[in-house]
Amino acid sequence: MKLSLGFSPCPNDTFIFDALVNHKIDTDGLEFDLHLEDVQTLNNWAKEGKLDFSKISYGVLPRILSEYCVLDSGGALGMGVGPLLIASNPMAAEEVHAHQIAIPGVDTTAHLLFSLAYPDAKNKEFVVFNEVEDFVKDGKGLGVIIHENRFTYQKRGLVKLIDLGDYWEKTTHAPIPLGGIVAKRNQPFKLLKKMNNLIRNSIEYAYIHHKDQLAEYVKMHAQEMEEEVMRQHINLYVNNFSFSLGDKGKKAIFQVLDVYNNLHAENQISKESIFAAELQTVA
């Protein structure tokens, strides 16, 4: 059976999926039509229902729940792993709304967290995540950075105004839900369960076989990133929540829906049947 699968070329995703898509583990007859894209492209595709399985930002989850459910493994959540708001120079919090702000995608979790912290900031420009630093460096405004840019912005003389993840943690008392793996709801429950277990097995393989030496698959997609930055990236975003959401992870996702519902009073989203494990009645 061939399934369409999408995830980003970032080190945390390629680290997680390497063993699965390159058949380093037994895939139990599954083959993959693979798509490596930036997260906003994957978010847009999820809104179109394009892929069977996909990495998405949790910021887009409320918009796709009618067609997708969330798998228990493969996601990126944690404490101290959230996006940062950066600038060329320090400034007071009340000045932020007066500036243009580059954000890595309208449906990203970064946008959701920024909106929670700065509900009055409306001057937004949505760009690909790796364009945000240049936006700020070129004097166009402020920027919300994610992924490996957390480790590079200071080298370019930029400063942090606020850790949006830290703001989320203090406000919600939940881990930061950055991205997760979603599956089409119309697939058999046995397939959803199998895919979830395979992703977990793929992560286990990566930790056993690539603890000291990164897989070539990770390096080839890392866009000339320094190996130390790749390792920092993986260590930050691949953790126990990647193996299983657990109760804390699920609480964080419920918090995303709460924030979304507070921001969109006209379009309330139900918290029922979010997770694949709740769909055991699927034929």
The response to whether 16 counts as a known ligand-binding position is: no
Q: Which residues, 6 or more positions from 65, have their beta carbon under 8 angstroms from its beta carbon?
A: 269, 270, 274
Backbone dihedral angles phi then psi of residue 84, each to the nearest 5 degrees: -120, 145
Count how many residues are written for the chain. Answer: 283
Count the neighbouring beta carbons within 10 Å of the beta carbon of residue 200.
Answer: 19
Residue among 273, 86, 105 at smallest CA distance from 192: 273
Q: Does residue 111 have an active-site annotation?
A: no
Look at the block and give the residue holding tokens 């990566």: 206
The response to whether 172 counts as a known ligand-binding position is: no
Q: How far is CA 26 from CA 19, 217, 252, in A?
A: 9, 18, 32
Q: How far is CA 37 from CA 47, 71, 142, in A?
A: 15, 19, 25
Determine which helix (DSSP H) or strand (DSSP E) holds 144, and give its type and residue range: strand 142-145
The response to whether 244 counts as a known ligand-binding position is: no
Which one from 147, 209, 221, 264 is the annotated catalytic residue? Answer: 147
CB-facing half-sphere around the CA of 113: CA atoms within 13 A = 35
The response to whether 57 counts as a known ligand-binding position is: yes
Looking at residue 238, its amino acid is V
Q: Measured in whole angstroms, how far is the alpha carbon of residue 256 from the centre of its chain?
A: 13
CB-facing half-sphere around the CA of 141: CA atoms within 13 A = 21
The response to whether 56 counts as a known ligand-binding position is: yes
Q: Take residue 195 and report the two structure tokens written for it.
A: 């895919």
Look at the block and give the residue holding tokens 């790749």: 230
- Binding-site positions for substrate read 55-57, 109-110
Q: Catalytic residue numbers?
A: 147
- Binding-site positions read 55-57, 109-110
